[in-house]
Amino acid sequence: MQEINTFLFDLDGTLVDSVPDLATALNKMLSDYQLPTYDEYVIRHWVGNGARVLVERGLSGDTKINHNRKQLEVDTALDKFLFYYRTLETKSTVLYEGVHDTLHALKNRGFRLALITNKPSEFIEPILSSFSLSAVFSLTIGGDSLPEKKPSPLPLLNACEQLNVSPSQCVMVGDSKNDILAAKAANIKSIGLTYGYNYGESIATYQPDWVFDSFSEILASLS
């Protein structure tokens, strides 16, 4: 990692475990439609492609989306889900072990940090501020900030442009195939974390440059 001066981080499943709140909001929405609700364990495998896809999977009751619903129906369901998610104020979202100290240590060592998530941008700051992490990031990009989100390379390349760094100076840190595929498409090195949400698949399958079991290993790799 000698050339690296910038770290790009995913949020859900990488920095925080937000599934408890996402599952609660999704099940409240499904209950409004008198549809089946699902265990947190099941919903955990539906997270990672943004709020709209999560809602479509909930309505379908499966990772594979049933596309027989009209766009307006999905839009209305999404609005309901987002309403419930806002009311929860991330009360059950937790920071993964080692994240707070590692991010602050990286910042103190002069690395630039950016956050690139598929989560709607309105939810980024409340989560970061609740864990005293807002100040460590030079840039945040949400799933609705640009025309495309991960696994498209666009958010990563946009971050490089805004931070005035080259892809070769960056590393993407994430827990899902979307992070690794986006990094590869952008010619950016990647760190795959094994503990997050990757649809039940091993993150190593997507061949990130490094595979770590804990967040703190990022610092150790720089020694």
pLDDT of 23-76, one tens digit each?
Answer: 999 999 999 999 999 999 999 999 988 899 999 999 999 999 999 999 999 999
- Tell me the average pLDDT of the chain: 96
What residues act catalytically?
10
Structural domains in the chain plus CATH codes? 6-17+93-220 (3.40.50.1000), 19-88 (1.10.150.240)
6-9/170-174 β-pairing = parallel
Return contacts of 102-109, CB within 8 angstroms, 24+ apart: 102/215, 102/216, 102/218, 102/219, 103/9, 103/15, 103/133, 103/136, 104/136, 105/219, 106/7, 106/136, 106/218, 106/219, 107/135, 107/136, 109/222
For 76-87, write each residue's pLDDT tens digit.
999 999 999 999
What angle, 0 to 180 degrees and rounded to 10, lies between the N-to-C axes of helices 71-88 and 51-60? 110
Structure tokens at 37: 């609700």
pTM summary value: 0.92
Structure tokens that stand for 60 in this block: 């379908």
Question: Which helix or strand (DSSP H or E) is residue 190 part of?
Answer: strand 189-193
Please state, in angstroms and rounded to a whole number, the distance separating the CA atoms of residues 208 and 171.
10
Residue 2: band (very low, low, confident or very high) from pLDDT cuts 50, 70, 90 = confident
